[in-house]
Amino acid sequence: MLKIYNTLTGNKEVFQPINENIIKIYVCGPTVYDYCHVGHARAGVAFDVIRRYLEWRFPEKRVVFITNFTDVDLKMIKRAREEGVTIFELADRFIKQYFQDFDALNVKRASYYPRATDHIPDMIKFIEGLIERGFAYEVEGSVYFDIDQFKNYGQLSHKKLEELQPSEEAEEMKKKSPHDFALWKKRKDDEPFWESPWGPGRPGWHIECSAMSIKYLGDTFDIHGGGLDLIFPHHENEIAQSEALTGETFSRWFVHNNFITLLQEKMSKSVGNFRTIQEILTQYSPMAVRFFLISTHYRSPIDFNEEQISQAQQRYKRFQLALAFSGQKDPSSPISDTFSSELEEIVEKTRKSFIEAMDDDFSTPRAIASINNLVKYVNGLAAEKETVAPEFLRQAHNLLLELGYVLGLVKSPGEEKEEILINNLVKFILELRKDARDKKQYEIADRIRDKLKELGITLLDYPTRTIWTKE
């Protein structure tokens, strides 16, 4: 029984999807004015694992997963002005880089990637609805949400209005309450703008996600995700304006990942203490970075530590080795057909403990530990001279593939054809190398080994077999 921690209630709750055929998830994406850093990677990988597990745990349901791009706000406007480009050109560049970064980290593509600027009419219609219902008002070309009219404000962050810091921006001094937030911002000089019933301007940040999530997922959906820093004010304001418009629960679950810190301080662009994904991937393999990120529970902080990434890289290599050994069989070796109850128990115990871990609010550290027990056992067999029951290897290999895919440590089935081609080519090269070694042509055998190493293929020679792994 899957339980997910709900920020709304502060408890782990049994997950029961709203619809019997579909699971709907919306995760706030980046503001695309710069390169993504490791903090963005943490969120992307965390919710990718959540999505993968839901798809695996509920195979009868279709998971619709939305991640947006915020491509209009002050940061976008400022950066575009500095570079002498439009916000659209700026967004195009960094969205392209976003996909390169997250594809490398094996993050599955979302069902949709709505861009804020493509949904301005939806936002205007949303704001008009709030005004009609008495939850918003216009002041000299800007529109604000009337917090006093929404009685459940603070249900997510548990903040009280009297605790909030009012805005000190001059143009907001005419608001009914200093706590009211902008839905539509009146045009300023040299800023991009759109025409609206209230005059030219642009949307506020919070209205973007409400309008896009409801457009693609409906008035109520299952999970709304994002980083801890989005709880307030972003998600709190989303709840207020969305439920004010529809009269329905906005999202059943709010799920938030914790931060990556550098020297115990949150990694962020505003502070300047960040490492881009691009930069990290020049030092470590994408899968090592992914392994590092999921080695800590998504609700716990991670202090960025290169030593720990190096350790994660070694752990991932051990996983690769077990996957490689269990997937390779030397047909010339006599192999016992015995499949003992002990080996069967190891496979079943791994599956059971993996599910128990992931059912407990997606506990990836425990899930990895359960897989590591099988990895350790398989790698122990690889170093032995004795032959291994093929049925055990087959089941171990299939389980490692299956669970590895859930954690995103194995590439998607769509890439299987390329993998098969690589496997067949390497197998042929290893046969040539074996012939060279049998003929005592060790220099040729070593050259093959070294060349494969340059290409990212590592060979491990054992007394009765050679296993290869890919970096």
Residue 126, amino acid: F
Asked if the model's pLDDT at residue 424 lies above 80, the reply is no
CATH class, 3-257 region:
alpha beta
Q: Are 3 and 14 in contact (CB under 8 A)?
A: yes
Residue 145 predicted with pLDDT over 50: yes
pTM: 0.87
* Short-list 217, 211, 215, 209, CA closest to 64: 217
| pLDDT of residue 335 exceeding 50 | no
Residue 384 has pLDDT above 90, yes or no: no
pLDDT category of residue 153 using cuts at 50, 70 and 90 = very high
- CATH class of the domain defined by 306-407: mainly alpha
Residue 421 buriedness (CB in 10 A; 0-12 / 13-18 / 19+) = exposed
Q: What is the pLDDT of residue 334?
A: 43
Of 433, 454, 455, the C-alpha closest to 444 is 433
Q: Percent of the chain scored above 90 by pLDDT?
A: 70
- Convert the pLDDT of each residue in 21-62 to its tens digit: 999 999 999 999 999 999 999 999 999 999 999 999 999 999
Euclidean distance between the first and the last CA atom of the chain, given in angstroms as a whole number: 36
d(CA 320, CA 409): 9
Where is pLDDT greater, at 21 or 384? 21
Whether 160 shows a pLDDT value over 60: the answer reads yes
Distance between CA atoms of residues 159 and 463, nearest Å: 65
**pLDDT > 70: percent of the chain:** 89
Average pLDDT (265-281) is 81
**Residue of 247 and 172 predicted with greater confidence:** 247
Is the pLDDT at 227 greater than 70, yes or no? yes
Cβ 230 vs Cβ 268: under 8 Å: no
Q: Is the pLDDT of residue 416 over 60?
A: no
**For position 299, what pLDDT does the model report?**
99
Residue predicted with more confidence, 342 or 375: 375
The yes-or-no verdict on residue 332 having pLDDT over 50 is no
pLDDT score at 260: 92
Q: Kindly indicate the confidence band of residue 166, based on its pLDDT and cuts at 50, 70 and 90.
A: low
* DSSP bridge pairs for 138: 143
Mean pLDDT of the chain: 90
Tokens read off for 443: 């220099």
Highest mean pLDDT among 91-95, 158-162, 304-308: 91-95
pLDDT-derived band at 245 (thresholds 50, 70, 90) equals very high
Q: Is the pLDDT of residue 318 over 90?
A: yes
Rounded to 10°, the helix 364-382/390-406 angle is 150
Where do the structural domains in the chain lie, given as residue ranges? 3-257, 306-407, 416-470
User: What is the average per-residue pLDDT within 251-258?
Assistant: 99
**Average pLDDT over every residue of 456-462:** 76
